[in-house]
Amino acid sequence: MIAIFDIDGVLADKSEIKHLNCRNEREREIFENKIEDLPLTPLAQIMAFMPYHRILFITARRDATREKTEQWLNKNIGLTYPYYSQIYMRADGDDSPSANVKERALGIIKDLYPEEDIIVFEDAAACAKMFKENGCTVCHIFRGHK
Ligand SMILES: [Mg+2]
């Protein structure tokens, strides 16, 4: 089984900046650069009990934040490669809606692992709906962006 985790609102608490819609460059930078986000421990603990599953991340953060994102995962969740095998991110300059970005990433994963069941932990309603429509089991997290 493959377990896909969103990051913001699922593993990283974004409640302090929930008002940002990230539809402009300035707000997106504030959102992505808030590296001191606290971890949402319930989801981090669930992940810790999944060591025998392939854990992947799909986030709408831009690829330019990959290093910061890896540092955050390492510092706050205690995760380092190869515990997770891949972080799928928004290509720099791609302004597509997050659900579209994540659907493309899901397509790559399904091509790589066509026989695997997929469970997804996601807080954004549009993204959760997209994963469901693509045949995934979805755990829709409600507490991240309170
Ligand atoms: Mg999210």
Q: What is the pLDDT of residues 99-128, one digit of tens each?
A: 999 999 999 999 999 999 999 999 999 999
Domains of the chain: residue spans and CATH: 2-140 (3.40.50.1000)
The predicted-structure confidence for 41-82, as pLDDT tens digits, reads as follows 788 888 877 777 788 999 999 999 899 888 888 888 877 666
Rounded (10°) CA dihedral 73, 79, 80, 83: -130
78 Rama class: left (phi>0) / alpha (psi -120 to 50) / beta: left
pTM, entire model: 0.85
Identify the pLDDT of residue 146.
Answer: 47
| Residue 15 CA, ligand 1 centroid: distance in Å | 11
Residue 113 CA to ligand 1 centre (angstroms): 23
Measured in angstroms, how far is the CA atom of residue 111 from the centroid of ligand 1?
23
Mean pLDDT of 34-40: 70
CA of residue 123 to ligand 1 center, whole Å? 5
